Amino acid sequence: GEDVEQSLFLSVREGDSSVINCTYTDSSSTYLYWYKQEPGAGLQLLTYIFSNMDMKQDQRLTVLLNKKDKHLSLRIADTQTGDSAIYFCAESMKAAGNKLTFGGGTRVLVKP
């Protein structure tokens, strides 16, 4: 079955790096995603990685995928107060119409 797990909360100082972790159970995942949700707003796609990749970098964001351990992480370099939000990890499978299965979200609080 599908299950995506994330830690609930992360506190980080402005300027430091943040690392948000996620584990998933379905080895058939095609894509793995990171979405950001600010209060009262919809979900913003930050980045996604194809399941045959190990790493993807996009400006301040680095995604690492360990397919053997079914572990996905998102590193945010030089974290800013505007990065405070809830971050959702999600997986999808082409065979299942690419519907997204989300984790419960990690609330990131950036302290000045």
User: Is 111 among the residues that bind another protein (CB under 8 A)?
Assistant: no
User: Is 28 among the residues that bind another protein (CB under 8 A)?
Assistant: no
What does the alpha-carbon distance between residue 18 and residue 42 come to, in Å, rounded to a whole number? 22
Q: Contacts by 49-53 with C-beta closer than 8 Å and gap 24+?
A: none
Q: Which is nearer to another protein, 33 or 110 (CB)?
A: 33
User: Is 4 among the residues that bind another protein (CB under 8 A)?
Assistant: yes
Closest distance to another protein from the beta carbon of 104 (Å): 5
Q: Which two tokens stand for residue 75?
A: 């590193």
What does the alpha-carbon distance between residue 37 and residue 13 come to, in Å, rounded to a whole number? 20
Which residues of the shown chain bind another protein in the complex (CB under 8 A)? 4, 30-31, 35, 41-45, 48, 50, 88, 90, 92, 94, 96-105
